[in-house]
Amino acid sequence: MWMSFYVAVLAVLLIQAHAQPGFISISCGSQDGYTDPSLEINYVSDVGFINTGVSGKISSEENSRYNTQRQLWTLRSFSEGKRNCYKINVTRASKYLIRTTFLYGNYDGRNKLPQFDLLIGPNHWSRVTIQNESSAQFNEIIHVPSMDYVQICLVDTDNGIPFITAIEFRTLNNDTYVTPFGSLESYNYLRCDLGSNQSYRYPDDVYDRFWYGPYYPCNFGENWKPLSASISDDSLNQTDYKQGATIMSTAVEPENDSAPLVIRWGPKNETDKFYVYMYFTEIHVLTTNETRLFNIMLNDESLVQNFSPRYHIADTLYPSAAISGKEIKFSLERTESSTLPPIISAIEIYRVIDSQNPETFQGDVDAITSIKSAYGVKRDWEGDPCSPAAYLWGGLNCTYLGNEFPRITALNLSSSGLSGKIDSSISNLTMLEKLDLSNNNLNGDVPDFLSQLQHLKIL
């Protein structure tokens, strides 16, 4: 028994030791770690990241469909509790691409496609609507954590049982995808490798971004002429966005050489704010009498004048501020002096998620977590204790003052089957006004530390 335990722990340590730098790859519902053969990415079990839910496996029929993608074979479902959360340790203030994966695969034999909410910390990320039992769905967000951990929460909306297949964190360069506020949600799978006839991720992209090929929605309803060339990673001069030679070796130009190259879409909500990143390189060596110059227009206003992609040098262009509107239209327009039409190699579109709910004050989180552990509290205490207010932990009251951290002001653990002494962690709830520990089996004297709680009025 001890030997098998030692071997299992050693296997996990070896997987973590050889993991890709900056990657956290969690296989939900899996009992052990492994290297996915199709991606050569090392995955770990989710056992150390969550204490709730039940492991499951997709049906044997779906398993055979995804026989080379082991990270899609298992999942964790949550039939109990309103909100169930993973807690993943990260580096505070670092920038991460976070991806959640969902493959129903008729794991429960019910053929019932669920719908549920996805939160990042206390803030709404997305409504997950499973469209097809055989297709994997993804949600991606670029996020800078304010704490040294991130909580990914699934919320039961009474439309079927929430589940999750995989969670992936990819560390990005902090100088990329800069926004003044909020997080960035990948919009409608619009991370497009233009001119390509297939999709890519790691190892072609060192950040493991998913790049989609020429099909809807990445053709934006336009007719383009695909271009391609052979570019090696060594010969491509890249920016911090690190698109990679595979992505930058293809491009599109207008089918009509004299026409503009247009990229447009109509947002579902015209007040939504977007950040758009466009990637350019000249993939062919131009002759002395050839020039490629074009202007980039945004909703008929000039964004960049006389732009000329450089040979095998990756340029990243993006508006400095978020954009919105009933329709968003980029138009790449050939100048009069240009002998060649405009080209573009790739584009990413993100929607801003405004993080309106601040996380509970860290000292209060640490204190209430210690209390939960000390007494083995069995209540539905998952995620942030105070935020959002709709999912406030049972037995707590909190104060909410604008953008300030919520604070715990009341703790009611009456009739909770507590035993032993009053836990000293309660003294760390420094804004506590009301404490109710009645109808339990606590013993010993009332501790002196309670008198140090300056705001305590009712005991």
C-alpha–C-alpha distance, residues 230 and 30, integer Å: 40
Q: Which two tokens stand for residue 195?
A: 């001119």
List CB contacts of 302: < 8 A, sequence separation 6 or more: 295, 296
Report if residue 160 sits inside a domain. Answer: yes
C-alpha–C-alpha distance, residues 249 and 394, integer Å: 55
Beta bridge partners of 441: 419
The CATH number linked to 407 is 3.80.10.10
Question: Which of 168, 124, 341 is closest to 251 using CA atoms?
Answer: 341
- Tens-of-pLDDT digits for all 459 residues of the chain? 333 333 333 344 334 434 588 999 999 999 999 998 888 999 999 999 999 999 999 998 888 888 778 999 999 999 999 999 999 999 999 999 999 999 999 999 999 999 999 999 999 999 999 999 999 999 999 999 988 999 999 999 999 999 999 999 999 999 999 887 789 999 998 999 999 999 999 999 999 999 998 776 788 888 899 999 999 989 999 999 999 999 999 999 999 999 999 999 999 999 999 999 999 999 999 999 999 999 999 998 999 999 999 999 999 999 989 999 999 999 999 999 999 999 999 999 999 998 888 999 999 999 999 999 999 888 889 999 999 999 999 999 999 987 789 999 999 999 999 999 999 999 999 999 999 999 999 998 888 888 888 988 877
- What string of DSSP letters covers 113-132? --EEEEEETTEEEEEEE---
> What's this model's pTM, rounded to 2 decimal places?
0.91
Looking at the structure, do residues 316 and 377 belong to the same domain, yes or no? Answer: no
Instruction: Specify the number of domains making up the chain.
Output: 3
Looking at the structure, do residues 392 and 415 belong to the same domain, yes or no? Answer: yes
Q: Which two tokens stand for residue 91?
A: 């580096």
Question: Which of 375, 443, 441 is closest to 411 using CA atoms?
Answer: 375
Expressed as residue numbers, the domain containing 118 is 23-172
CA 50 to each of CA 54, 85, 268: distance values in angstroms, whole numbers, following the listed order: 11, 7, 34
The CATH number linked to 228 is 2.60.120
Tell how strand 183-193 and strand 137-143 pair up. antiparallel
Report if residue 395 sits inside a domain. Answer: yes
pLDDT of residue 19: 59
Report if residue 6 sits inside a domain. Answer: no
Instruction: Identify the sign of the CA torsion 25, 26, 27, 31.
Output: positive
CA 317 to each of CA 33, 207, 278: distance values in angstroms, whole numbers, following the listed order: 39, 19, 5
Cα 145 from chain centroid?
11
pLDDT of residue 304: 96
Looking at the structure, do residues 202 and 343 belong to the same domain, yes or no? Answer: yes
Q: Which two tokens stand for residue 158?
A: 């009474």
The CATH number linked to 155 is 2.60.120.260
Looking at the structure, do residues 325 and 194 belong to the same domain, yes or no? Answer: yes
Report if residue 165 sits inside a domain. Answer: yes
The C-alpha angle with vertex 163 and arms to 26 and 130, in degrees rounded to 5, equals 115
C-alpha–C-alpha distance, residues 236 and 239, integer Å: 10
Looking at the structure, do residues 289 and 401 belong to the same domain, yes or no? Answer: no
Place of tokens 């993943």: 88
Place of tokens 């080209």: 343
Q: Last residue of some domain: 127, 148, 172?
A: 172
Q: Are 137 and 148 in contact (CB under 8 A)?
A: no
Looking at the structure, do residues 212 and 250 belong to the same domain, yes or no? Answer: yes
Q: Last residue of some domain: 323, 353, 383?
A: 353
Looking at the structure, do residues 29 and 140 belong to the same domain, yes or no? Answer: yes
